Structures are given as C-alpha cells and as structure tokens.
Structure 1
C-alpha cells in the first residue's frame, strides 16, 4: 500500500449525483479495494492500481473551514469517490476533523460508507442538524463480501452500525448496491426483513454496472462457479434485476420501508 500525504486546493467539489450538491473526499484512493468499483473509470486510474494507494489530503479540514464560510448552502456528500471511514481514517481522522467544521453550519450532510468506523463519530453526527447516514450492503453472505470487498467491514458489523445509528435517532438508509447477481427470488423476503430489523426506513437499490475493466477484474478474482452465475444474470437474463428489484419493492411496502432505485434508474 502506497500512502502519500498531499495538500488540496479545494475541499468541496460540485457534484452531479442526484440529491448531492457538493462532494467531500478526504482521501484519494480507497483501501477497501472493491473489485467492482466504478471510481477507477471516473478518475482514469488504472484498475490494477485501485486499492494499492491512498493520497491523504492533510489540509482538507482547514480548506473546508474556509470554504464553508463562502459556499451557498447545499447537500454535502461524504464521500463520492472514496470511503470516508476506510481503515486509514483511524489514524488520520480527516473525516472526523471535517465533521467538526460542519457542525458549525446548516449544510445538509449525506454520509455513505461500508465501515462500522462511522460509529466512532456518533458524538459529532448527533450534533449535525440535517444528516443522514447510508451504509452499503450488497449481500448478506459475508463469504461473497470477502471476495468482492476484501478490506471492508463485515456484513454483521455494517448491520449493527445501522441499528446503532437508527437507535440514536439518526436518519439512515441502506444502499443495496451493487446488488450481487447471486441473490435468488426466494431470498428477497429474508433480505428485506434483515434490513427492516436495523431500524432503517429507506432502502436504495442498484445493479452491478460493468464499467471499463470491471468484468475482467471479476473474472480474475472470482471462482468460476460465480462467474458462470454472473454471466447468466448479467448477459443472458436481461430482466434479472428488474424482477429482483420489483420483488424487493413488494416486500419493502409490506415492511413499511421506503424503496428507491439509485439515480432514478429503471432496471
């Protein structure tokens, strides 16, 4: 892992994501090393380097403090091209330092992570006036998670994080995306029930998008039996995600969970 400390000129970047006006990324690169990640395509980073480096934006809390005084109020996404609570955050605490600046203002905040380290900052998150925290959970099978998201928190830890946040009265959502194409129709009810028990009131779903280099990376890292399932679901069964998401939506209605498709997509 190559770790480099750098200085940034800006902290808040304009975002084109739905519902997000500014993106705040304390790090460039991500230790989680998810093999399907879209970020290498967005930032033009060679896929074989993804997960092998992190740039630490050491001065980002100071830059953020200056920008918050001047920026028009808008929703800040933490983060859009990295995970704000990846393991290195334990040492550098840049996300926490940024939150210390944000509690002084009324900017709506949307935090999204795959790590239970977010619970460390409950004291600050609780002070934010308009915040929601999303936890990404793409499967309930941790053995799959280990192959797809090798250095991210376990599924059990993520579910617990959502429960703790919800119990503290913090608005939460679960991002079921990308949904691994291994989930079967008869597993959907259990999935939604597990999510319901966390106390979250929103479930956002997304399919697996084969950005440049993703399929090759999947073939390189997954066992052949999984690749065969992926081939079938992604290339042959064109209605797979449509049917799965419709079933999820049906059970969300039953459990009183708000259902959304990421980016307003119809699969």
Structure 2
C-alpha cells in the first residue's frame, strides 16, 4: 500500500477512484494494461490520502447527480475493510444529497447496506455486480481473491429484498473457458431470479493489450496448459478476442433478457445509471 495526494477526486462525469490497483487477482483484468500508466505493482494499492477532503469540497460545489466508482478499481478491495474510504464517501454522498452507484465483485458491499438504503430512499443507489462464470471452482481460478459467484448471487438477492436496484456486468467471457451455453444460461437464470434491472454485455469475448495480455497468458499456462498457444494462433495480437460461440451466446442473451424485462442495451442501462431522480430532500450542510 502507498499513499498519494491527489488534486481532484471526481471526473467531469462524476466518477471517482479512491484506490488504484487491486488485489482480487482476476486473471483477465484490463486495468493492468500499460496504457493506464500505473508506475507501481498492480497489487501495491495506491490510496488517495486526501480523497475524502476533496470529495466533500467537490460535492459542495457540484449540481446533484449520481456519483460512480469501480470503473478502474473495485472499491471493495480487502483494504477497504480497514480504511473505510468507501463508507466515509457514502456518508458524504448521503449528507450532500447525491446518488451513488458502484461496480464490484465483493460481498463487502453489504457492510454498507444501511447507507445504500438511506441514499436510495432519498435519491438513488444502484449496485453493479460482475458475473463471469457460474462454476465456483472455475471462479476460484479466474477471480481467486474475491468471493465466488454463488456468494455474489446471494448478494444480488439480498439487495433485491432490501429494494436496492442492481445491474450485472456479464463480462468477460473467455474463449474455450466460460463461453458455453450452460454457463450463460445459468448466469441469466440467476439474474432473472434476483430481478436485476439490466445486464451489460458488449459481446461474448474479452480484450487484451500490452500489460494485461502477458499476465493473462501466464495464468493460461498455469491453469489451462496449451490454451495460450491456441489464443496466439487464432487471435494473434488482436485487442478484441471474440468467442467462436459469440453469435449463439448473444442470441441467447438477447432473447432471455428481452423475455424477462431486463434491460440489455448498454446505452439504455447507462442512461438509467446516470439518471438522477428529482426527489425532494433537505440537504444537510454539516
């Protein structure tokens, strides 16, 4: 862990990253890519030590909107257990009358259920959960240091019972690993059962570029001997790595989500995530 001082915490679109780097160990993580210019080891988490002061200052000046986190680093990494930067951010977001959404793979989000419910009662809180494989044993290989899929589905159902809306990221789908009809069907059935609002899927496949490609291939050598050579032969140095089953799986995805009233168009889902409800409340200027 390392502390840094930052000049700002919110992007122009109200996204924030309290941490940089991650310890979940997902073998496919795009955030490892060199294009993001990280100057330290990915697992050596960078903490923005003045993030909370910056957030308070920026929330006092900005118009009410949704605040999002998790696009680059899962906000609920184990370090959050100790530092509680996300929880303290939620307290500020609630205090100043903003909405909140996050992307995570962790059941640690349930620790903050009380604050999510408060925010959702006044504005809007949406939890986005990533699901890649229904098989918990495979999940332990693909995403080794975070709760398994079964637990994430439990979290989605708890959030449903607490009336917190949810969105699922169905990605990445790795060719010759989790790109099966059985896997996609099982994940979709779980999402239907949890009454998710939408499922984001940009196609059945993954992306690779310098930095995350080398890490991913190293893990293929360790866990799926021979598969790296197949990737290199079929996909060479392509950024986009589509599943050979993409057409069939996307047809299944579109059909099943449409039949069950689940949003499946990324543009419409992001419009929903970014929409700030006009609910009346008294902002607490404390």
Instruction: Establish whether TM, by shorter chain, passes 0.5.
Output: yes
What residue in structure 1 maps to residue 276 of structure 2?
none
Please point out which of 91, 102, 112 is paired with 2:82. Answer: 91
Gaps of 5+ in 2: 270-286
Please point out which of 72, 77, 90 is paired with 1:81. Answer: 72
Gaps of 5+ in 1: 15-20
Please say if residues 33 and 150 of structure 1, whose CA atoms lie closer than 8 Å, have aligned partners that are also in contact. Answer: yes
Please say if residues 141 and 155 of structure 1, whose CA atoms lie closer than 8 Å, have aligned partners that are also in contact. Answer: yes
Q: Higher Cα Rg: structure 1 or 2? A: 2
| Deviation digits for residues 218-249 of structure 1 (CA, Å, limit 9, x no counterpart) | 22112225546756886797753233122111
| Deviation digits for residues 233-266 of structure 1 (CA, Å, limit 9, x no counterpart) | 86797753233122111111233322234899xx
2:146 counterpart SS class: coil
What residue in structure 1 maps to residue 213 of structure 2?
215
Matched, 1:191 2:214: no
Q: How does 1:103-122 map to 2 (within 5 A)?
A: 103-122=94-113
Please say if residues 139 and 145 of structure 1, whose CA atoms lie closer than 8 Å, have aligned partners that are also in contact. Answer: yes
Please say if residues 134 and 183 of structure 2, whose CA atoms lie closer than 8 Å, have aligned partners that are also in contact. Answer: no
Q: State the TM-score, normalizing by the size of structure 1.
A: 0.84
CA RMSD of aligned residues (A): 2.6
CA distance in 1, matches of 2:75, 2:132: 18
CA distance in 2, matches of 1:120, 1:104: 18
What residue in structure 2 maps to residue 18 of structure 1?
none
1:76 counterpart SS class: strand
What residue in structure 2 maps to residue 43 of structure 1?
36
1:126 counterpart SS class: helix
2:61 counterpart SS class: coil
| Deviation digits for residues 146-166 of structure 1 (CA, Å, limit 9, x no counterpart) | 222221221111111111111
Q: State the TM-score, normalizing by the size of structure 2.
A: 0.79
| Deviation digits for residues 129-187 of structure 1 (CA, Å, limit 9, x no counterpart) | 11211011111122222222221221111111111111100110111111233322354
Please point out which of 231, 239, 242 is paired with 2:247. Answer: 242
| Deviation digits for residues 20-47 of structure 1 (CA, Å, limit 9, x no counterpart) | x22111111111132222223342237x
Please say if residues 31 and 212 of structure 2, whose CA atoms lie closer than 8 Å, have aligned partners that are also in contact. Answer: no
Aligned length: 254
Please say if residues 163 and 200 of structure 1, whose CA atoms lie closer than 8 Å, have aligned partners that are also in contact. Answer: no
What residue in structure 2 maps to residue 258 of structure 1?
263
Please say if residues 131 and 187 of structure 2, whose CA atoms lie closer than 8 Å, have aligned partners that are also in contact. Answer: no
Q: Which moved more, 1:203-212 or 1:117-126?
A: 203-212
CA distance in 1, matches of 2:182, 2:243: 19
Please say if residues 249 and 259 of structure 1, whose CA atoms lie closer than 8 Å, have aligned partners that are also in contact. Answer: yes
Q: Quote the offset at 1:195 in angstroms.
A: 1.8
| Deviation digits for residues 31-74 of structure 1 (CA, Å, limit 9, x no counterpart) | 1132222223342237x932x20112232112111110112333
Change (3 A) 1:190 1:155: closer
What residue in structure 1 maps to residue 25 of structure 2?
33
CA distance in 2, matches of 1:263, 1:226: 36
| Deviation digits for residues 71-91 of structure 1 (CA, Å, limit 9, x no counterpart) | 233332112211110111000
2:45 counterpart SS class: strand
